Amino acid sequence: MNRVILFNKPYGVLSQFTDKGTEGSPRPTLSAYIDEKGFYPAGRLDRDSEGLMVLTDSGPLQARISHPKYKLAKTYWVQVEGTPDDAALNALRSGVTLKDGKTAPAKVSQIDAPANLWDRDPPVRFRKSVPDAWLSITITEGRNRQVRRMTAHVGLPTLRLIRAQVGDWQLNNMQPGTWRFSSETGR
């Protein structure tokens, strides 16, 4: 059986085990949190994004999770600047045209701030004069910074992005920087 680790990646951590691009840099990597040998990330999560990462010791499973041809659904909780209206939500649901082409339709709904949400360090900027809102967005693609580009395209810049689910694997109540073993199916 393939082994799987679920990790709640904190803000500012690179989704790799080494930072060869800037030797000696203080940028934290997965190696600061996970000391199990033979595991590799199945997909990436930007340094300024938080939440669920799936790691595995199986190349074929890693490919099934991360390769776009498998269209594995990924759900994000997205704090956006502004108040979403029906036009913006429907545009996201239909797919928006970005510089690298039209996105596939997304499942989008406005939600309350997630329960048991941890504080982010550094905190998200707060402006009294500009409201913010939370969205749940599920995509099956994995373009570079896709969710951020999609929300910006409809006039709702992303303030905070947390991946909550990859396929059947869920973040649940894991705190940032913690990890646990899981089954290959996520159930």
Active site residues: 46
For the chain, the 3-state helix, strand and coil shares in percent, each to the nearest 5, are 20, 30, 50
Q: Which helix (H) or strand (E) holds 140?
A: none
DSSP states of 161-172:
EEEEEETTEE-T
Cα–Cα–Cα angle for 35, 53, 154, nearest 5°? 150
- Nearest CA to 114 among 81, 45, 161? 161
Question: Alpha-carbon distance 71 to 43, whole Å?
Answer: 12
Length in residues, the chain: 187
What CA–CA distance (Å, rounded) separates 108 from 89?
A: 7
The one-character DSSP state at 74 is: E
